Amino acid sequence: MKKEVTLAKSAGFCFGVERAVNICIKESEKYKDSDKKVFTLGPIIHNEEVVKDLKQKGIDVINEPGELKNPQNSVVIIRSHGVKKAIIDELEKMGVTVVSATCPFVSKIHNIALKTYNDGDQLIIVGSRNHPEVIGINGWCNDTAIIIENEEEAKNLKFDNNKKVIVVAQTTFNFRKFKYIVDILKKNCYTIVVMNTICNATEERQIEAKEISEISEAMLVIGGKHSSNTQKLYEICKERCPNTHFIQTLDDLSSVELESFRSVGITAGASTPNKIIKEVQSYVSREQ
């Protein structure tokens, strides 16, 4: 039976991820004949296949500056999610060559966080408190931000109404949930300024995932298991299409039963390479 396969137009690398990977490749080429060793501070993006490919190009991953054995002969690329300002300061003090691959949309939030702190205002970050992006943003306001993950936390939040409140969002946060949380915050806070810092590409990807999952009998969501934006896509699709599966590569399809479905939708997170998406699409499109 020939399947109707719908691939999301927005599936795959976003601007920030593509930029980060290209920076890694450029730095690898730049220092390949030198004594300097190139590292990324944490995985450059949340995709194991990409990290493996970069390792083959000579780029290893460190989790903290203290792991560097020869700092002055090291190049450290800051991941797309960004890091705390204190970590960048520490690396530069060690004599490390620091290259930022932080997504420009995330850097914009860093600037907001820094200004908010310097102005004596209160920053609220709507996002996953253990996500590297959120941890990094909080570091730009000296870890003074209030982090809210869901509507319940927003309802229970006690405000200091003597302070102006600035609200930002993790760039990959669920747009609909952000709106709900903001509505709750506005009821409880006198002086609040909301900045929708969810990336446009994220919002577009979520809307398209919603639309495709509503017309498909089964959905495949491709991405790294630690990818926040891919997890959000999975949640959106699963709400509307019970037969939604989260996979990382074509190999994961061996445990997914698709034969009985006439229509299959495919979307992918912002850190999923186009090669993997095409492999999955080609496999699913074959007559079963």
The strand pairing partners of 147, in sequence order, are 125
Task: Enumerate domains of the chain plus CATH numbers.
Answer: 4-13+200-285 (3.40.1010.20), 16-102 (3.40.50.11270), 105-194 (3.40.1010.20)
Helices 15-31 and 104-118 pack at an angle, to 10 degrees, of: 100
Please state, rounded to an integer, the average pLDDT across all residues of the chain.
Answer: 93
Structure tokens at 106: 């995330």
Which pLDDT belongs to residue 88?
Answer: 97
Q: Report the C-alpha gap between 46 and 4 in whole angstroms.
A: 30
The strand pairing partners of 245, in sequence order, are 220
Which pLDDT belongs to residue 78?
Answer: 97
Given a cut of 60, is residue 288 above it in pLDDT?
A: no
Beta carbons within 10 angstroms of residue 212's beta carbon: 24
Q: Report the C-alpha gap between 257 and 99 in whole angstroms.
A: 44
pLDDT digits (tens, 9 = 90+) for 54-106: 999 999 999 999 999 999 999 999 999 999 999 999 999 999 999 999 999 99
DSSP, collapsed to helix, strand or coil, labels residue 38 as strand
Q: Which of 133, 149, 203, 208 is catalytic?
A: 133
Q: What residues have CB less than 8 Å from 273, skipping those under 6 apart?
A: 12, 13, 47, 49, 50
Known active-site residue 49: no
DSSP 158-224: PP-TTS-EEEEE-TTS-HHHHHHHHHHHHHH-SSEEE---S-HHHHHHHHHHHHHHHH-SEEEEES-
Give the mean pLDDT of 179-196. 92
Q: Report the C-alpha gap between 114 and 116 in whole angstroms.
A: 5
pTM to 2 decimals?
0.85
Contact (CB, 8 A) for 96 and 65: yes
Q: Report the C-alpha gap between 217 and 229 in whole angstroms.
A: 22
pLDDT digits (tens, 9 = 90+) for 141-169: 999 999 999 999 999 998 777 889 999 99
Which pLDDT belongs to residue 167?
Answer: 97
Q: Report the C-alpha gap between 202 and 129 in whole angstroms.
A: 19
Given a cut of 80, is residue 170 above it in pLDDT?
A: yes
pLDDT digits (tens, 9 = 90+) for 23-65: 999 999 999 889 999 999 999 988 888 999 999 999 999 999 9
Number of alpha helices (DSSP H) and beta strands (DSSP E) in the chain: 10, 12
The strand pairing partners of 6, in sequence order, are 265
Contact (CB, 8 A) for 105 and 199: yes
Given a cut of 80, is residue 190 above it in pLDDT?
A: no
Q: Report the C-alpha gap between 26 and 6 in whole angstroms.
A: 34
Backbone angles phi, psi at 237, to 5 degrees: -70, -40
Which pLDDT belongs to residue 1?
Answer: 60
